[in-house]
Structure 1
Amino acid sequence: MTLLIIGILLWVGAHMFKRLAPEARARMGDKGKGLVALALLASIVLMVIGYRGAAFVNVWYPPSFMVHINNLLMLIAFFVFGLSATTGSLRGRLRHPQLLAVKIWAVAHLLVNGDLASIVLFGSMLIWAGSEVAVINRAESWERPAPGDPKRNLLLVVITVVTFAITAAIHAWLGVWPFPG
Structure 2
Amino acid sequence: MGWGEYAAAVVVFFLTHSAPVRPPLRPWLVARLGPAGFGLAYSALSLGVLAWLIGAAGRAPYVPLWAWAPWQNHLALAVMLPVCLILALAVARPNPFSFGGARNDRFDPARPGILRATRHPLLLALALWAAAHLVANGDLAHALLFGIFAAFAGLGMRLVDRRRRREMGARWDRLDAARRAARPVPMTWPGAAARVAAGGALYAALLWLHPWLFGVSPLG
Q: TM (normalized to structure 1)?
A: 0.83
RMSD, aligned CA: 2.7
Change beyond 3 A, Cα 1:27–1:89:
closer
For the pair shown, which has the larger CA radius of gyration, 1 or 2? 2
C-alpha contact (below 8 Å) 1:4/1:121 kept by paired residues: no
One-letter code of the match for 1:25?
A: R
| Letter aligned with residue 70 of structure 1 | A
Aligned AA for 1:103?
Answer: A
Q: How big is each residue's C-alpha offset from its partner over 1:44-85, in whole Å with a ceiling of 9 and x where there is no partner?
A: 243133122112111111332121111010111111122213
Name the structure 2 match of 1:157. 196
1:23 is aligned to 2:24: yes
**1:23-172 superposed matches below 5 A:** 23-31=24-32, 33=38, 36=42, 39-85=45-91, 90-93=113-116, 94-141=118-165, 142=172, 143=175, 147-172=186-211
Could you say what secondary structure the match of 2:195 adopts?
Answer: helix
* d(CA) in 2 for partners of 1:152, 1:38: 26
Structure 2 residues without counterparts, runs of 5 or longer: 94-110, 166-171
CA distance in 2, matches of 1:66, 1:90: 31
TM-score scaled to structure 2, two decimals?
Answer: 0.70
Aligned partner of 1:176 in structure 2 is 216
Q: State the alpha-carbon separation in 2 of the partners of residues 156 and 149 from structure 1.
A: 11
Overall identity of the aligned pairs, in %:
25
CA contact (8 A) 1:5 1:47 kept: no
Amino acid at match of 2:79: L
Contact 1:11 1:39 in 2 (8 A): no
Tell me if the contact between 2:114 and 2:121 (Cα under 8 Å) persists in the aligned partners: no
- Report which stretch shifted further, 100-109 or 163-172: 163-172
Cα deviation, 1:12-41, whole Å, max 9, x if unaligned, reads 22222255x423432444457487556535
CA–CA distance in structure 2, aligned partners of residues 162 and 28 of structure 1: 34
